[in-house]
Amino acid sequence: QVQLVESGGGSVQAGGSLRLSCVASGYSVGGSCMGWFRQAPGKEREVVAAIGSDGSTTYADSVKGRFAISEDDVKFTLYLQMNSLKPEDTATYYCAADGGSFHLCPRAAGSYLHWGQGTQVTVSS
């Protein structure tokens, strides 16, 4: 049974940084596309960043240059380093796994089979 557990969320002021972690069990990190998604109240879940089995990365335009996705296969962990946070980054952030084996990972939430429970990120101005 695949389990994804996120951590690292919290409240920060604009310009601050956070690093999210997603520990996977029952799943081989690096075996297929994994990603971070976020969902703000009243909005659809959207891709933030994704990483393929070959290390290729995909980012939402709104976070390019500020966020970085990475994975540690030995620790079974997916990370999202978030810098220069903005109030509009406020959302619940979800880890997703098993999005297929693609060079460019899918951006649609429906393409991923497994999800974590989410971690809240709040950025104040």
- Give the 3-state secondary structure of 47-87: EEEEECCCCCEEECCCCCCCEEEEEECCCCEEEEEECCCCH
Specify burial of residue 29 (Cβ count, 10 A radius: 0-12, 13-18, 19+).
buried
Please check the confidence at residue 102 and state whether its pLDDT lies above 80.
no
Residues 6+ apart with CB under 8 A from 68: 49, 80, 81, 83
Nearest to 69 by CA among 47, 45, 43: 47
E strand or H helix that includes residue 38? strand 34-39
Per-residue confidence (pLDDT) for residue 71, from 0 to 100 = 94
Provide the pLDDT confidence category of residue 99 given band limits of 50, 70 and 90. Answer: confident
Band (108; pLDDT cuts 50, 70, 90): very high
pLDDT band at 27 (very low <50, low <70, confident <90, very high): confident
**For 3-25, what is the mean pLDDT?**
97
Specify the pLDDT at position 103.
Answer: 78
